[in-house]
Structure 1
Amino acid sequence: MSLEERFDIVRSIGEECIQDEELKNLLANKPQPICYDGFEPSGRMHIAQGVMKTINVNKLVSSGCKVKIWIADWFAQLNNKMGGDLKKIQAVGQYLIEIWKDAGMNLESNKIEFLWSSEEINSRADEYWPLVLDIARRNTLRRISKCCQIMGRSELNALTASAAQIFYPCMQCADIFFLKADICQLGMD
Structure 2
Amino acid sequence: MAEKAPSPQERKVAARARLLAAADELFYREGVQAVGIDRVIQHAGVAKATLYSAFGSKEELVRAYLRLRHDATMERMSQELAARYSTARERLVGVFEVQGLSFSDPGFRGCAFIGANADAPPPGGAIEQESNDYREWVHSLFFNLATEAGAKDPKGLAKQLVLLYDGAGIGAWMDHDPGAESAARSVAAALVDLAIPA
TM-score normalised to structure 2 length: 0.29
TM-score normalised to structure 1 length: 0.30
Q: Which has the larger radius of gyration?
A: 2
